Structure 1
């Protein structure tokens, strides 16, 4: 009798397990996109400034692989099946470095840590306070930044940036696209600040 029962339970268990696997949605992975414009060829013969980007910090809440969105009741949604393809802090730093290399064609832009390239002339330190979305509304970006002279360790410039970008829809692809957009706008702000340094 026990043998017959186990023979009956095995197929039922297998079917249940298979059903559970089939019902699990696939995980989608996302990356932030940098500016797509190719920089124009540089014609200057002057020595280029070396500018280091970083370190970049993000809120502890965002230091996870899942994409985080804020809900109207001050709670958050952590999307188990919509994740960053690489650590978010690294992706943000890579995009900012790429964007500034595109915008600052007269400078050499290095990502933190840049020890392999030697010393830099200036360092841009970025502390991101908000980098998230309210579904069906907008993405929010807020950061404090400082530009330091690395040769004499003095503060050259600093600022507080706050930006909002409306969402086309509440989908995760739309959210990631809008987050890339606010990073592009922030990069342009940093580029203007760097351009004022002589």
Structure 2
């Protein structure tokens, strides 16, 4: 009887622990859905390759990372990206630029299975995070290259900061998504400006 009572008590404790554990919430970045502006006409349809994309080591966690005003960081154990952030950013940027460049074909790195591309967009993400109650920050270096000649056609440094109206994790992801959309528009403008350079 004592052994049965002990086993039953242990089972209740284990079940209680499971009930009290929060479930993990998974997030993806929203992509642009509005109609793209009329693109500048080009002589032919271009093949545009997005990537590779690099991110800081701090952001390689599956968990969402936020900063605090005292220079500490918070790694949210139960608020996570649905896939590694580097992959999530690559997919979202590719989809955004496909929307913004409707007359061209946009492919994500690596694209070798599909052949070559005309233009390659390399992105180095420096910051992609938020300080709850203060701001959201996106900082990136980028380069547009002619893939065949490896010539750099255009490069830049983008810095986007937005106030945090909603510091919840859904609000955080929404704000980061909007900033990525703005960054995508900057890249699209750069691509349009080199439309005859390759």
Query: What TM-score results when the alignment is normalised by the length of structure 1?
Result: 0.92
Report the 3-state secondary structure (helix = DSSP H, G, I; strand = E; otherwise coil) of the residue aligned with 2:182.
helix
Task: Report which of the two structures shows the higher radius of gyration computed on alpha carbons.
Answer: 1
Deviations 1:14-48 (A, max 9, x none): 11111111110111110001101245899x79421
Work out which of the residue numbers 84, 98, 119 in structure 2 matches 1:122. Answer: 119
Alignment of 1:133-172 (within 5 A): 133-172=130-169
5+ unaligned residues in a row in structure 2: which ranges?
none
Is the contact made by 2:37 and 2:100 (CA closer than 8 Å) also made in structure 1?
A: no
Work out which of the residue numbers 110, 127, 132 in structure 1 matches 2:129. Answer: 132
| Match status 1:196 vs 2:193 | yes
Work out which of the residue numbers 177, 180, 191 in structure 2 matches 1:180. Answer: 177
Deviations 1:96-126 (A, max 9, x none): 1111111112221111111122111110000
Deviation at 1:139, TM superposition (A): 1.2
Partner of 1:19: 16
Cα distance in structure 1, aligned partners of 2:42 and 2:86:
35
Deviations 1:129-187 (A, max 9, x none): 10011112221110000011112111111000111122222100000000000100000
Report the 3-state secondary structure (helix = DSSP H, G, I; strand = E; otherwise coil) of the residue aligned with 2:29.
coil
Is the contact made by 2:137 and 2:160 (CA closer than 8 Å) also made in structure 1?
A: yes
Partner of 1:83: 80
Is the contact made by 1:40 and 1:105 (CA closer than 8 Å) also made in structure 2?
A: no
| Match status 1:69 vs 2:97 | no
5+ unaligned residues in a row in structure 1: which ranges?
none
Cα distance in structure 2, aligned partners of 1:46 and 1:161:
29
Distance 1:139 1:40, change over 3 A: closer
Cα distance in structure 1, aligned partners of 2:113 and 2:21:
44
Deviation at 1:73, TM superposition (A): 1.4
Deviation at 1:83, TM superposition (A): 0.6
Distance 1:75 1:18, change over 3 A: same
